């Protein structure tokens, strides 16, 4: 007889944990981290980001530094986007994917280029261990390469909203407003050395600030004192659904290829070097599409949620797919969702129905994003 | 600490019950609305529906969460708070007053004795 003991799992805390507690945040476990789901409430936080500037602790996301003479070639091999589109001198980032040879998505990532031989790859918190394993498992052909998981030593704060750039700029040594979308630069903000990148996940303008973990509380405080409204993961998820932005585990996973997740544009089958998944993805790209990801806007007041079936609206209510993410949209005042459905129903304005607790609710296929201000 | 008025009865599923003669007024507690957050949608039964104890009689939804409503008593729905439609925040603001959900004509008054009183509910929610 033997007893199998599960390993003691420790829930991780970001360096801003005490700041969240002091601000009265409601904390929840998320992807192995204890994170703020909300401070004042999802509605006021969504409004703050749409009308002013919100602050998000996204330090739980994985940060992996990739450097060395082979770093560029390694990332070209590992990722589906074309890293050569980022200038060698650094200063720019790109959205990308890690895919398996069979085309399934391992994770969606952002590759930040700091210089000719130096990058930071930001990955989903829920996939950090898996991604690190995948990344370390594909280094054999690249001798001049160092991978460092900097997640615990650094912090990441997103400042998002129409007033975000002005807010950061007044605290920044360098002019951050000149950064193009997806541009990045080192700058000192409120006395703290940061890497500022004009990226985000809300459909608004703004920056994400990388800084040393032990300096993050001072940076957070300075940003809040300057008018940034602390926002939790609840508002963040609602904002990204309004902005039509996919989330790993919802719009995509290992059983989904990029062309079923509105992410075909990321895959550069024409890039000069081979990459993991290239052959399969090239074949999928040229094959007829069976399923696709669309926006769904409700006509009544009912709220679509993940997993709810989507039915054809005009030929007897056949099941055509399911909701991948849904929410009440505070910005639009109605229920909105993303859904993976049969490609034949994907034309915008196509009437569909969402099955909510045994009742059919009318909806329409809607263009994505539902809202964008950047 | 949430508000748990002494004059009401409570269910473990966080409904409050106010007995008015042979009718029970039912809503969700201050603790429940606090846990849910900003309420943006409510689904309630039609007048005339007959409920048994623990029947799901509707849902309340915040931006991010769905919560089912369970009938704490048996009886027929005789009134529904239609004023909540489009004004769901009233449930957050005054859960024990304008935020009431339904009125049920009691089938069996003895069921009231099975409900929690205020101190029972307080210990249920750890207060």
| CATH code for position A52 | 3.30.1360.120
Of B38, B59, B85, the CB nearest to A41: B38
pLDDT tens sequence across A254-310: 999 999 999 999 999 999 999 999 999 999 999 999 999 999 999 999 999 999 999
Q: Over range B14-41, report the average pLDDT.
A: 96
> Could you tell me if A160 and A235 lie in one domain?
yes
Do A175 and A237 lie in one domain? The reply is: yes
Q: Which residues contact B50 (CB under 8 A, 6 or more apart)?
A: B75, B76, B77
A300 to chain B: nearest residue by CA? B41
Beta strands in chain A (DSSP E): 26-30, 33-38, 54-57, 62-67, 92-99, 105-115, 118-123, 146-149, 154-160, 184-189, 192-197, 206-212, 229-230, 291-298, 309-312, 319-329, 334-342, 351-356, 359-366
pLDDT value for B127: 86
- Give the whole-number percent of chain A exceeding pLDDT 70: 97
Judged on CB neighbours under 10 Å (0-12, 13-18, 19+), A24 is exposed
Distances in Å between the alpha carbon of A159 and those of A66, A125, A190, A236? 25, 19, 14, 12
- Give the closest-approach CA distance of A104 to chain B in angstroms: 28
- Residue A50 falls within a domain, yes or no? yes
B44-60 pLDDT, tens per residue? 999 999 999 999 999 99
For A131, the domain range is: 62-149
- Chain B hits for A42, CB-CB cut-off 8 Å, are 37-38, 62-64
CA neighbor of A50 nearest in space, from A220, A200, A250, A221:
A200
Rounded to the nearest angstrom, the minimum Cα separation between B7 and chain A is 30
pTM of the model: 0.94
Compute the radius of gyration of chain A from its Cα atoms.
21
Domains of chain B, each with CATH number or no CATH: 9-107 (2.40.50.100)
Asked if B64 lies within 8 A of A301 by C-beta distance, the reply is no
Nearest CA in chain A to B56: A357
Same domain, residue pair A90 and A233:
no
What confidence score (pLDDT) does residue A7 get? 52
Both A53 and A176 in one domain: the answer is yes
Q: Is A66 on the interface with B (CB under 8 A)?
A: no
What is this model's ipTM?
0.89
CA distance A292 to A294: 6
Instruction: State how many domains chain A has.
Output: 3
| A276 occurs within a structural domain | no
Q: Based on the fold, state whether residues A157 and A145 are members of the same structural domain.
A: no
Task: Name every chain B residue with its beta carbon within 8 A of the beta carbon of A48.
Answer: none
d(CA A106, CA A134): 9
* pLDDT for position B1: 80
Distance between CA atoms of residues A308 and B6, nearest Å = 40
On whether residue A281 sits in a domain, the answer given is: no
CB B36 within 8 A of CB B57: no
Of B61, B63, B86, Cβ closest to residue A234: B63
- For position A10, what pLDDT does the model report? 87
CB contact under 8 A, A303 and B41: yes
Question: Between vectors from CA A239 to CA A49 and to CA A90, what angle results, nearest 5°?
Answer: 80
The list of chain A residues with pLDDT below 50 reads 1-4
| Same-domain status, A142 and A170 | no
**Is A42 touching B (CB cutoff 8 A)?**
yes
The whole-angstrom distance between A328's CA and the closest CA on chain B is 5
Note whether residue A3 is domain-resident: no
Helix %, strand %, coil % of chain A (to 5): 25, 35, 40
Report if residue A261 sits inside a domain: no
Which of A234, A329, A335, A356 best tests the B interface by mutation, with the highest count of B CBs <10 A?
A234
Tell me how close the Cα of B112 comes to any Cα of chain A, in angstroms. 29
Could you give the angle at the alpha carbon of A335 between the alpha carbons of A332 and A336, nearest 5°? 85
Do β-strands B56-62 and B39-43 pair in parallel, antiparallel, or remain unpaired?
antiparallel
Answer whether B55 touches A (CB < 8 Å): no
Query: Encoding tokens for residue A292?
Result: 């696709």
Evaluate whether residue A196 is within a structural domain.
yes
B87 and chain A: CB distance < 8 Å anywhere?
Answer: no
Same domain, A292 and A354: yes
Burial of A220 (0-12, 13-18, 19+ CB in 10 A): buried
The reported pLDDT for the residue numbered A2 is 43
- Neighboring chain B residues of A333 at a CB cutoff of 8 Å: none
Regarding whether A162 and A113 lie in a shared domain, the answer is: no
pLDDT of residue A1: 42
Nearest-angstrom CA–CA distance, A163 and A47: 12
Question: What are B99's two structure tokens?
Answer: 């935020």
Same domain, A93 and A32: no
B66 and A303 in contact by Cβ < 8 A? yes
Tokens standing for residue B122: 């307080």
Please check whether residue B40 touches A, CB under 8 A: yes
CB-based contact A176:A169 (threshold 8 Å): yes
A100, part of any domain? yes
Q: Decide which of A104, A134, A149 is a domain's last residue.
A: A149
Minimal CA–CA distance to A121: which of A210, A52, A27, A228? A210
């Amino acid at each position: 007889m033997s007893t199998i003991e599960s390993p003691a799992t420790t829930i991780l805390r970001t360096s801003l944990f005490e700041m969240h507690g002091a601000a009265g945040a409601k904390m929840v476990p998320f992807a192995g981290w204890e994170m703020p789901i909300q401070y004042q409430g999802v509605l006021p936080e969504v409004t703050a980001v749409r009308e002013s500037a919100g602050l998000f602790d996204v330090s739980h996301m994985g940060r992996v530094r990739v450097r060395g003479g082979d770093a560029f070639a390694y990332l070209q091999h590992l990722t589906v986007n074309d890293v050569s589109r980022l200038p060698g001198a650094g200063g720019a980032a790109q959205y990308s994917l890690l895919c398996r040879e069979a085309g399934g998505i391992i994770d969606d990532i952002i590759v930040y280029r700091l210089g000719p031989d130096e990058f930071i790859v930001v990955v989903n918190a829920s996939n950090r261990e898996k991604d690190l394993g995948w990344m370390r498992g594909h280094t054999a052909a690249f001798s001049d390469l160092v991978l460092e998981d900097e997640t615990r030593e650094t912090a990441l704060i997103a400042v998002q909203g129409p007033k975000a750039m002005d807010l950061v700029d007044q605290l920044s040594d360098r002019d951050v407003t000149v950064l193009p979308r997806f541009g990045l630069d080192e700058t000192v903000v409120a006395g703290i050395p940061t890497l500022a990148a004009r990226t985000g996940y809300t459909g608004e303008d703004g920056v994400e600030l990388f800084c040393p973990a032990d300096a993050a509380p001072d940076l957070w405080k300075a940003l809040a004192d300057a008018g940034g409204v602390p926002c939790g993961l609840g508002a963040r998820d609602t904002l990204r659904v309004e902005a039509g932005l996919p989330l790993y585990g919802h719009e995509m996973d290992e059983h989904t290829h990029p062309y079923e997740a509105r992410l075909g544009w990321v895959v550069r089958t024409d890039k000069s070097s081979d990459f993991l998944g290239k052959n399969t993805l090239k074949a999928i790209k040229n094959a007829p599409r069976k399923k696709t990801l669309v926006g769904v806007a409700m006509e009544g007041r009912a709220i679509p949620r993940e997993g709810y079936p989507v039915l054809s609206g005009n030929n007897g209510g056949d099941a055509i797919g399911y909701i991948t993410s849904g929410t009440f949209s505070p910005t639009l005042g109605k229920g909105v969702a993303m859904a993976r459905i049969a490609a034949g129903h994907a034309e915008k304005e196509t009437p569909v129905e969402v099955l909510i607790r045994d009742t059919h609710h009318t909806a329409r296929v809607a263009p994505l994003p539902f809202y964008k201000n950047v | 600490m949430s508000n748990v008025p002494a004059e009401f009865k409570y269910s473990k599923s966080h409904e409050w019950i106010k007995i008015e003669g042979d009718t029970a007024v039912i809503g969700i507690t201050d603790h429940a609305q606090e846990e849910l957050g900003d309420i943006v949608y409510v689904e309630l039964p039609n007048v005339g529906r007959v409920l048994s104890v623990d029947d799901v009689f509707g849902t309340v939804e915040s931006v991010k969460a769905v919560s089912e409503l369970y009938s704490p008593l048996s009886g027929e729905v005789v009134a529904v708070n239609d004023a909540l439609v489009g004004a769901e925040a009233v449930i957050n603001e005054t859960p024990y007053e304008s935020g009431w959900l339904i009125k049920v004509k009691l089938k069996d008054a003895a069921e009231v004795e099975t409900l929690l009183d205020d101190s029972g509910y307080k210990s249920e929610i750890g207060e």
